Amino acid sequence: METRLGRLALFVVIAASLARLPTAAAQDLKLPNKGAIRFAVIGDMGTASRAQREVGQQMSLFRLKFPFTFVITVGDNILGSESAADFKAKFEQPYADLLKAGVKFYASLGNHDNPEQRNYAPFSMGGVRYYTFRPIAAGDDKALATGVRFFSLDSNYLDAEQLVWLEKELSSSDSDWKIAFFHHPLYSSGRTHGSSLDLRKTLEPLFLRYGVDVVFSGHDHYYERVKPQQGITYFVSGSAGSLRKGDYGRPQPFSATGFDRDFAFMLVEIDGPKLYYQAVSRTGQSVDSGVIESAPVK
Amino acid sequence: MESNHQRQQGQPKDPSLQGVFNARTRPNVSKPSPEMLRRRRPRSGQMFPQGQAGAPIHLTGLFAMGRRANGAPPGRRMMFELAVAHLRTMFRKDHMKINTRGFLFALLMGSAGCSTHRNAHIAPAADVDMDGKVLARFQHEIEEYIELHRDLVKRIPNVGPNATAEEIAAHRDKMTKGIQAERKGARQGDVFKPSVEAAIRRIIAREISSPEGQQMIQELKQGNPKVEGVPNQADPTSARSERVLVAVNALYNTEAPSSSMPPSLLLKLPQLPDQVRYQFVGRDLILRDTEANVILDFIKDAITDRSVPR
């Protein structure tokens, strides 16, 4: 009798473990997979938790189908202590496969990040708190993709100097796609934090004036897509290593959809005037997908 | 149909030629017209895209330089003022479109007036409502601190933008110990002198009691270690709180999060150099060296709003 019970318990444990492991068969890609610019979005991930590692594995598995070349982070890259061992456990190990494959990470700073992360080579910040870059097109490591420009901001400390810089960079960019990413969401239904209204009051006019198309943020530990606000689509992608279940319990009227039942990350593809997005859970299931069309440049 | 760009150019220019942060210290918050929403982009090839408040962007940049030139040695400040005066004349004469040489001259003088002033550690935001002498005293204290910081960096060189995790951690530890040793005996009020403290309290109280004050309160609670915890490694759906000891020369707990600084409030406080920043721990405003991770000074109960825990 005891042996039978022991076997049954062993079977339950093994089955439960297998159910949690990401498998190659689980990936449910909804993107056309033909655009020149392919990237992933993660946020609030640096916990060194099992969930973070599983999200990292899932990203690697998806990359076999969808070869994204870089990842943007929307902050809280390293939560808690920031010793050398922490950088390894909270970043280098969970994304070891991606780093080994040459996938580049472009970080922005969250409220758990020490600003000195700007000097950490794998974060590609060039020693500054805020920066802009144009991504390298897939399959061509020399030619720059001219139509897309990213703006990484430090939303923890949006001082006058950063705002002057942002206006200068936005106004001088003639890219078809202007994509901003930073930690605090301008629109969020999160019960814990929600929308950063003071930040919105400061940044949104600049985004509107200079034609920002898409904004990625984190901070609230779930996934949310916001209905276009005056032409700009906002995403909250803050559950790649932390999660607040039930935080999307009361969606605001501006919300299009959300997912707070499991950890998640995003995959994005830009093909000319179209930006395709997909939010993927830790188990590889698609929780949201769609397409955004860029406003035509005249 | 007249393009949005043309309409913007047709607007009267701000007579004082104030740039975006010179006038209100924050971008123009007016909503764009439907036509603007449809277009939303500056015309490609536009030579001088419009800045905020109708000022061309090159002027916005010049006034940004102007903030840097504040407090510069008199010679450099004079060069900057000369550049502004020259631009004013050009506008009066409406030579802007044709006088390229004049514009280049102004740009050169403006740059000379501030480009060598990269060591300007503290530039007052235009809207800082602080007595000139009080502000100067605060500037002096900050500059003295930055001098100390820089002396230390000569002995403990910066790691540069391609550092490893080990290099960053080792550098931070050395900086922490170095600053703590150099400032041994530092006391509360050394940087926030009583007059400075009173002025900062007044600014915060005024902003918090404004109609948008509650938005600021909500934002400075975010990341505030008295409000927000750190997700647990074993179960990242839960969080633990991390205590931050608010004391002069204390290490800012590296495990703890940092409070957001609402931009509207930040733009009203004297601007700080990159090495130091304002933050809140509970209701206390702290001045933190982010490189050394050390609390330099603090103002107890700078916020009186009871919804923010002590």
**What are the strands of the beta sheet with B294-299, ordered from one edge?**
B276-281, B284-289, B294-299
Question: B74 to chain A nearest CA, in Å?
Answer: 23
What is residue A42's predicted lDDT score, i.e. its pLDDT? 98
Residues 137-196 of B with CB under 8 A from A: 158-172
Tokens 């996934």 appear where? A223
% chain B with pLDDT above 90: 47
CA–CA distance, A14 with A6 (Å, rounded to integer)? 12
The answer to whether B302 faces chain A, any CB pair under 8 Å, is no
pLDDT at residue B170 is higher than 90: yes
The residue among A213 and B106 whose pLDDT is bigger is: A213
For the segment B136-166, what is each residue's pLDDT rounded down to a tens digit? 899 999 999 999 999 999 999 889 999 999 9
Looking at residues B212-228, what average pLDDT do you find?
Answer: 92
pLDDT at residue B73 is higher than 80: no
CA–CA distance, B149 with B292 (Å, rounded to integer)? 9
Looking at residues A6-30, what average pLDDT do you find?
Answer: 62
CA–CA distance, A50 with A17 (Å, rounded to integer)? 12
For the segment A63-106, what is each residue's pLDDT rounded down to a tens digit? 999 999 999 999 999 999 999 999 999 999 999 999 999 999 99
Looking at residues A135-142, what average pLDDT do you find?
Answer: 62
Residue B298's H or E segment, with its range, is: strand B294-299
CA–CA distance, A127 with B158 (Å, rounded to integer)? 10
Provide the pLDDT confidence category of residue B56 given band limits of 50, 70 and 90: very low
For the segment B173-184, what is each residue's pLDDT rounded down to a tens digit? 999 999 999 999
CA–CA distance, A140 with A38 (Å, rounded to integer)? 12
Tokens 């991770």 appear where? B293
* CA–centroid distance for A31 within its chain: 16
What is residue B62's predicted lDDT score, i.e. its pLDDT? 38
Best of A50, A88, A118, A119 to disrupt the B interface (most B CBs within 10 Å) is A119
Average pLDDT over all residues of chain B: 71
What is residue A279's predicted lDDT score, i.e. its pLDDT? 98
Nearest CB partner across the interface for A79, out of B36, B219, B230: B230
Comparing B81-95, B126-140, B191-205, the range with the smallest average pLDDT is B81-95
Q: Rounded to a whole number, what is the distance in angstroms from the first to the last CA of chain B?
A: 58
A243, closest residue in chain B (CA to CA): B237
One-letter amino acid of A219: H
The residue among A51 and B20 whose pLDDT is bigger is: A51
CB A74 within 8 A of CB A42: yes
pLDDT at residue B308 is higher than 80: yes
Nearest CB partner across the interface for A164, out of B21, B50, B236: B21
One-letter amino acid of A157: Y
Question: B153 to chain A nearest CA, in Å?
Answer: 14
pLDDT at residue B49 is higher than 50: no
Determine, for residues A244 and B237 on separate chains, whether the beta-carbon distance falls below 8 Å: yes
Determine, for residues B125 and A160 on separate chains, whether the beta-carbon distance falls below 8 Å: yes
pLDDT at residue B6 is higher than 80: no
User: How are beta strands B239-240 and B276-281 bridged, if at all?
Assistant: unpaired
Determine, for residues B30 and A205 on separate chains, whether the beta-carbon distance falls below 8 Å: yes
Average pLDDT over all residues of chain A: 91
Comparing A234-248, B73-87, B210-224, B253-267, the range with the smallest average pLDDT is B73-87
Nearest CB partner across the interface for A119, out of B50, B51, B161: B161
Neighbouring-strand partners of residue A149: A178
CA–CA distance, B87 with B90 (Å, rounded to integer)? 5
What is residue B133's predicted lDDT score, i.e. its pLDDT? 86
Question: B201 to chain A nearest CA, in Å?
Answer: 19
CB B262 within 8 A of CB B216: yes
Question: A40 to chain B nearest CA, in Å?
Answer: 21
Closest CA to B231 of A20, A155, A244, A113: A244
Determine, for residues B60 and A164 on separate chains, whether the beta-carbon distance falls below 8 Å: yes
According to the 3-state scheme, what is the secondary structure of chain A? CHHHHHHHHHHHHHHHHHHHCCCHHHCCCCCCCCCCEEEEEECCCCCCCHHHHHHHHHHHHHHHHCCCCEEEECCCCCCCCCCHHHHHHHHHCCCHHHHHCCCEEECCCCCCCCHHHHHEHHHCCCCCCCEEECCECCCCCCCECCCEEEEECCCCECCHHHHHHHHHHHHHCCCCEEEEECCCCCCCCCCCCCCCHHHHHHHHHHHHHCCCCEEEECCCCCEEEECCECCEEEEEECCCCCCCCCCCCCCCCCEEEEECCCCEEEEEEEECCEEEEEEEECCCCEEEEEEEECCCCC
What is residue B288's predicted lDDT score, i.e. its pLDDT? 97
**In chain B, which ranges are continuous DSSP H helix?**
4-10, 20-23, 34-39, 57-69, 74-92, 100-115, 132-155, 165-182, 194-208, 213-221, 263-266
Provide the pLDDT confidence category of residue B55 given band limits of 50, 70 and 90: very low
What is residue A144's predicted lDDT score, i.e. its pLDDT? 52
CA–CA distance, A58 with A147 (Å, rounded to integer)? 29
- CB atoms near residue B2 (< 10 Å): 8
CB A259 within 8 A of CB A287: yes
Nearest CB partner across the interface for B264, out of A156, A198, A230: A198
Provide the pLDDT confidence category of residue A35 given band limits of 50, 70 and 90: confident
pLDDT at residue B60 is higher than 70: no
Determine, for residues A156 and B264 on separate chains, whether the beta-carbon distance falls below 8 Å: no
pLDDT at residue B61 is higher than 90: no
pLDDT at residue B24 is higher than 50: no
What is residue B183's predicted lDDT score, i.e. its pLDDT? 95
* CA–centroid distance for A69 within its chain: 14
Chain A residues within 8 A of B230 when measuring between CB atoms = 79-80, 112
For the segment A244-292, what is each residue's pLDDT rounded down to a tens digit? 999 998 999 999 999 999 999 999 999 999 999 999 999 999 999 999 9
B49, closest residue in chain A (CA to CA): A171
The answer to whether B282 faces chain A, any CB pair under 8 Å, is no
Chain A residues within 8 A of B260 when measuring between CB atoms = 111, 155-156, 184, 196, 199
CB A263 within 8 A of CB A283: no
- Nearest-Å Rg of the Cα atoms of chain A is 19
User: How are beta strands B284-289 and B276-281 bridged, if at all?
Assistant: antiparallel
Nearest CB partner across the interface for A82, out of B43, B228, B254: B254
CA–CA distance, A71 with A38 (Å, rounded to integer)? 9
Closest CA to B20 of B70, B54, B69, B71: B54
- CB atoms near residue B294 (< 10 Å): 23
What is residue A6's predicted lDDT score, i.e. its pLDDT? 67
Looking at residues B248-270, what average pLDDT do you find?
Answer: 94
Burial of residue B15 (number of CB atoms within 10 Å: 0-12, 13-18, 19+): exposed
pLDDT at residue A181 is higher than 60: yes
Determine, for residues A210 and B42 on separate chains, whether the beta-carbon distance falls below 8 Å: yes
pLDDT at residue A189 is higher than 60: yes
% chain A with pLDDT above 90: 83
- Please name the residues in contact with B157: beta carbons below 8 A apart, sequence gap of 6 or more: none
What is residue B16's predicted lDDT score, i.e. its pLDDT? 28
B217, closest residue in chain A (CA to CA): A198
C-alpha distances in angstroms, A194 versus A140, A230, B69, B144, B216?
A: 40, 19, 39, 40, 13
